[in-house]
Structure 1
């Protein structure tokens, strides 16, 4: 079911983004007097198509990994004399630049609209209060204390733990200190703590950016591993575990909370482990044969229990703005996401970030499905983020992408004449190889994470 859910929301996400992107090209082309022949969402065999009254062939195709707007163009086929004024290649270079730019800009406009909607509705999420800090963690050694509330990262205000995450992502691959402004639980005075990033190591295949610094949210500590329901005939019941038991140790490792226990159980499918449980103040040893189940496309360990879930509302924050303030915040958020995309891409080129960090369609599908299951606001946020990334990637000066065409037309505007067809064709071939190579790396990374 998880696979089908991920696939559904992946198609929904790409369907929205591709439609908006291609409509940007389509709308500007029509406004500038270019005849559009085909508007296609997806590639390959048409699943549905209809000829509109405007003469455009509207298509939904089988492969939902993109789309295209086909315009009248002499470079593709002979154009009747009476239709030459409507051919793309006959339009001034500035008109062609506007048509190319319209797709990525449409993605940025979509992101602005979605972020505006989010801020106007109100964004609820984890507060910026951290929980138990391990003394040997980077944050612990720097001086972050249990219960500290993060108010700024590198001088910029943060309101939700998601804001902290975005600020930390921007520092990937860097070695200079990150400055957190924090205040102790219940206090008003603030202090600054410098987090050294020289020894910061992140598992690219299973990244836990905040956890790798020691910045787990306080709500994790509140969900202790106290059993509330034992699944019939499951590993826990067969081992004699009962409702009310608190799991204290897992193979001699002290269990901090329920989330910690999950991380310990997941890689141990079909293995026998030793648990120490607390029952009525008494410690009891139990041997458990870990079962298995499917989780987000992977087989993980499971012992068949659910735990007592406390009220976590005190650790949730909401950021809501008025309609007009939300517009300003939406522009600001979109600008930050564009800058973050450029920052991470630059670090990828310089080698500060490993190519293993690239994600492909499988990771996008998991992100789409996972965010949708959490709630509408989270799904909207995910779609907005991917829309920004799609717009940014398409502006890269790589032939085959919009940015490659933009590069050719900019050179034409400067020189006063277009590049030769031979050079453009060579550029397209190089661009195709580059895009396919990046796609291959991203898909390989996705498959590696599944193994």
Structure 2
């Protein structure tokens, strides 16, 4: 438990610091004065002032905040602070400042993946056929176990994972394969067929297949700077896409909301990943960073996405949302978040009692 608590504090501390640092950097670049940059809430344990900004480490390490000059609409601002007031900046500048927090969470994920790939490389599944299923297009075309898939439609195959991806994008069209067998290159023509299967969410789907199974062998590949960055961006994009799809499926009922987890589950998983090693722990931080970035972009008042929604309404109508309406929407947003927190805590507690 103690190990998980420490790991949880480290994870939350890193994620919140990066998120608030994004707001801070964007604010300073847009000429907005920052009065307080705090990691954590509650009583201040450490504080140091540099210029106008007071940097703080607070007692409750489960959050943080950046307090900007003129951040609250309608607040009184000294005439000399008008130029450095958040409220008096353009809609574009305010939007950049607000969006910078979530986007810095995405940048953190890219950075973590980049470091991992740069120093450790990647392991790829060998494009070697381990099994050919009977009465399938691959069996009919003459593919045999041990064949190495070299190309499909003139696209070089680097990993076995490339094969189903190319087959899926062909939508059943005839594909030209080049396979290596006994040091000889053989050209084969294969037409995929639809077959029942399951997606990553366990849902029943139909997908195009040719009827081969990989050998399960893998190889290590070192990456240069460009390749590491390319894989980092690709993986971060994949996590964003998968997370958004998961949210949509929870909303339409395809996935049970019981899968949602809160702080207790995060603490448990953080402890497990920390024990598994630094690479696992770093990957877990990247995963949570993507989730935090996406959640903060939801158009719920109180969250960054809610503020962006207000700015969008102002841009369309030509006038800002009234203070009274803003206050009501923020209260509603806060109530939604409290309800969500109660729900995920309930899920966590149920999992604990069920041994999950």
TM range (shorter): 0.7 to 0.9
**Residues 1:9 and 1:316: Cα distance change in structure 2 (over 3 Å):** farther
Provide the C-alpha distance between the structure 1 equivalents of 2:43 and 2:208, rounded to a whole number of angstroms: 53
Residue equivalent to 2:97: 99
Residue equivalent to 2:256: 354
Residue equivalent to 2:319: 417
The reply to whether residue 89 of structure 1 matches residue 118 of structure 2 is no
Q: What do residues 326-381 of structure 1 show as CA deviations (whole Å, max 9, x unaligned)?
A: 11111111110110111001111111111110011111112212112112211111
Residue equivalent to 1:257: none
Residue equivalent to 1:249: none
Mapping 1:264-283, distance limit 5 Å: none
Root-mean-square deviation (Å):
2.8
Identify the match of residue 27 of structure 2 among 18, 26, 29.
29
Provide the C-alpha distance between the structure 2 equivalents of 1:319 and 1:440, rounded to a whole number of angstroms: 45
- Give secondary structure in 2 for the equivalent of 1:50: strand
Identify the match of residue 322 of structure 1 among 213, 224, 232.
224
Residue equivalent to 2:334: 432
The reply to whether residue 69 of structure 1 matches residue 45 of structure 2 is no
Identify the match of residue 118 of structure 1 among 96, 113, 116.
116
Q: Retained in 2: the 8 A contact 1:152–1:181? A: no
Identify the match of residue 77 of structure 2 among 76, 79, 99.
79
Provide the C-alpha distance between the structure 2 equivalents of 1:169 and 1:386, rounded to a whole number of angstroms: 26
Provide the C-alpha distance between the structure 2 equivalents of 1:172 and 1:154, rounded to a whole number of angstroms: 21
Identify the match of residue 37 of structure 2 among 39, 44, 49.
39
Q: Retained in 1: the 8 A contact 2:39–2:58? A: yes
Q: Retained in 1: the 8 A contact 2:33–2:69? A: yes
Provide the C-alpha distance between the structure 2 equivalents of 1:83 and 1:402, rounded to a whole number of angstroms: 24
Mapping 1:191-210, distance limit 5 Å: none
Deviation at 1:171, TM superposition (A): 3.0
Q: Retained in 1: the 8 A contact 2:123–2:219? A: yes
**Residues 1:397 and 1:184: Cα distance change in structure 2 (over 3 Å):** closer
Residue equivalent to 1:401: 303
**Residues 1:101 and 1:181: Cα distance change in structure 2 (over 3 Å):** farther
**Residues 1:153 and 1:362: Cα distance change in structure 2 (over 3 Å):** farther
**Residues 1:423 and 1:434: Cα distance change in structure 2 (over 3 Å):** same
Residue equivalent to 2:144: none
Provide the C-alpha distance between the structure 2 equivalents of 1:347 and 1:378, rounded to a whole number of angstroms: 27
Deviation at 1:426, TM superposition (A): 1.0
Provide the C-alpha distance between the structure 2 equivalents of 1:67 and 1:181, rounded to a whole number of angstroms: 52
**Residues 1:395 and 1:183: Cα distance change in structure 2 (over 3 Å):** same
Deviation at 1:184, TM superposition (A): 5.1
Q: Retained in 1: the 8 A contact 2:121–2:223? A: no
Mapping 1:172-183, distance limit 5 Å: 172=201, 174-177=203-206, 183=212
Task: Point out where structure 2 has 5 or more consecutive residues left out of the alignment.
Answer: 128-147, 149-158, 167-196
Q: What do residues 60-103 of structure 1 show as CA deviations (whole Å, max 9, x unaligned)?
A: 22222221111111637422111112111111111110100100
TM-score after normalising by structure 2:
0.75
Residue equivalent to 2:245: 343
Provide the C-alpha distance between the structure 1 equivalents of 2:199 and 2:27, rounded to a whole number of angstroms: 36
Q: What do residues 112-152 of structure 1 show as CA deviations (whole Å, max 9, x unaligned)?
A: 111111111225779799xxxxxxxxxxxxxxxxxxx9933
Provide the C-alpha distance between the structure 2 equivalents of 1:84 and 1:370, rounded to a whole number of angstroms: 49
- Give secondary structure in 1 for the equivalent of 2:203: coil
Q: Retained in 2: the 8 A contact 1:153–1:180? A: no
Provide the C-alpha distance between the structure 1 equivalents of 2:319 and 2:214, rounded to a whole number of angstroms: 66
TM-score after normalising by structure 1:
0.60
Task: Point out where structure 1 has 5 or more consecutive residues left out of the alignment.
Answer: 130-148, 158-167, 187-217, 219-314
Q: Retained in 2: the 8 A contact 1:111–1:334? A: yes
**Residues 1:109 and 1:180: Cα distance change in structure 2 (over 3 Å):** farther
Equivalent residue pairs, number: 293
